[in-house]
Structure 1
């Protein structure tokens, strides 16, 4: 008859280290006390396994070079982009500079034709003759100062406007001085502007339709002459054509005479534009044949007087 007793196995003897703490022995005794009765310590099958302690992560070995080490970093994209932009801009500028240099010194753009406009008291041929030294010079090298300097001998020319019209034409627009009065000199009459510059001469004062300044600058003095000329320069052409002469007792007492015999009391040269507008309105007003106007007083333009 088979035996009902279970085989027993002797647990492996545990080696106790000398330096093991006393708590291990105490724990063993506690286990024996709590085991079921009738069961000896040899009846308990125990198994133990040593759990390896986690090892520290391996660190990569860094070999230190014997000499100095230079680390190469990639160039930032922004810097590469700026270099490309600067290179492209430099190339464009070089091309533009080359084209400009070719245009400035190219004989293809040499001046051949001078077109003159705006002349009345000076002939276009005179302007073209004065600008003859510029012929054959490239248009980009001709400046307004060059043209102005060559036309300085023509007193009728007050200012100019220059326009280059490739390939070989220079357009010159002349702004002439405007005559405002006649000054009698001997048997002739000089046409003068507001600055007293003589623009032309004529034997027939009626052909100019301008007032005569009595005595001229030599007789009445420069100050009175300039004051009178400034007044005449503020008047429109239709009123100038109605004047017969102008005079001044002082710079504050300028008077004008109409061809019909009426007198215009102007006063000084202040508020010239306003006085000219008031005078034009008075001359256009209806005339009463029974009470004709002999004097137009615009010396105080905001309160004009007729009598």
Structure 2
């Protein structure tokens, strides 16, 4: 009896199927390859278009400069010092270089933000330094900010800004203070004191006098004086001075150099 064939050994209702054509996976891989090539070509065209738009087109070039935040300076002064390269592609304008030029040419500027304002503008947001003390030199006044920076010379004293008097002797007992700290450090200590003075007292302060690092005093517009000492413990000295002035309203001299042991005199 002849043996069973392969077809007969196959379960009923099932027949072995012969493969025809390439595997589906291979066809899918070719399809993906075509998609990737098309996308790459599209991206290349898009990239070249974006490059042309940013660097070659007249649609996004620097054409105007806006200025905000000025108080003493004028927008025209800021624009001139900024020297923005008008007509250049906006993307290639060096904003850091503009900020550097402004700080160098206009010391009155404390900080400046330089931003691109698409599609045609450069925006300059300026913050000017505020004087807290004045140094008189000849008939003019040098403005000193809250960091001790001497940033501008003006012909008229700004209203409400006290004078700085450097009465430091280069000989005698005060000389070591000058040699140790230097004039600039003493100026910064005076600024530190001026910032710590209570607002009500600051409004009536005529001058801040520096004799040495730890011998700084205030002269008020009505002739009263305050021994402040060094710039240390400024907040405590300010609170003590306010309380002392309320407790002795007729006094002419106040000493808060040691805030835990204040004194007043000269009613």
- Matched ranges for 1:261-272 at <5 A: 261-263=224-226, 265=228, 267-268=230-231, 270=232
Q: Provide the rounded CA distance (Å) in 2 between the counterparts of 1:286 and 1:134.
A: 58
1:287 match: 246
1:297 match: 256
* 1:214 Cα deviation after fit: 0.8
SS in 1 for 2:136: strand
Of 147, 151, 154 in structure 2, the residue corresponding to residue 201 of structure 1 is 154
Whose strand fraction is larger, Structure 1's or Structure 2's?
Answer: 2
Q: Provide the rounded CA distance (Å) in 2 between the counterparts of 1:217 and 1:142.
A: 49
SS in 2 for 1:134: coil
Q: Provide the rounded CA distance (Å) in 2 between the counterparts of 1:161 and 1:101.
A: 28
SS in 1 for 2:87: coil
Does 2:201 match 1:243?
no
Q: Is the 8 A contact 1:287 1:293 kept in 2?
A: no
SS in 2 for 1:122: coil
1:175 match: 127
Deviations 1:21-78, CA, capped at 9 Å, x for gaps: xxxxxxxxxxxxxxxxxxxxxxxxxxxxxxx4x725449xxxxxxxxxxx95443799
2:69 match: 118
Q: Provide the rounded CA distance (Å) in 1 between the counterparts of 2:227 and 2:28.
A: 79
Does 2:175 match 1:213?
no
Note closer, same or farther for the CA distance 1:253–1:175 as it changes in structure 2 (3 Å cut): same
SS in 2 for 1:98: helix
Q: Provide the rounded CA distance (Å) in 1 between the counterparts of 2:200 and 2:74.
A: 25
Note closer, same or farther for the CA distance 1:119–1:199 as it changes in structure 2 (3 Å cut): same
1:229 match: 191
Note closer, same or farther for the CA distance 1:280–1:98 as it changes in structure 2 (3 Å cut): farther
Gaps of 5+ in 2: 8-20, 171-177
Q: Is the 8 A contact 1:228 1:254 kept in 2?
A: yes
SS in 2 for 1:160: strand
Q: Provide the rounded CA distance (Å) in 1 between the counterparts of 2:263 and 2:254.
A: 6
- Matched residues, number: 236
Does 2:38 match 1:75?
no
Q: Provide the rounded CA distance (Å) in 1 between the counterparts of 2:111 and 2:210.
A: 30
Whose helix fraction is larger, Structure 1's or Structure 2's?
Answer: 2
Q: Provide the rounded CA distance (Å) in 2 between the counterparts of 1:264 and 1:87.
A: 82
Q: TM-score, normalised by structure 2?
A: 0.68
SS in 1 for 2:59: helix
Note closer, same or farther for the CA distance 1:215–1:288 as it changes in structure 2 (3 Å cut): closer
Q: Provide the rounded CA distance (Å) in 2 between the counterparts of 1:110 and 1:240.
A: 49
CA RMSD between the two structures: 4.0
Q: Is the 8 A contact 2:56 2:89 kept in 1?
A: yes
* Structure with higher RCO (Cα < 8 A, 6+ apart): 2
Note closer, same or farther for the CA distance 1:226–1:167 as it changes in structure 2 (3 Å cut): same
Gaps of 5+ in 1: 1-51, 60-70
Q: Is the 8 A contact 2:209 2:218 kept in 1?
A: yes
Does 2:86 match 1:135?
yes
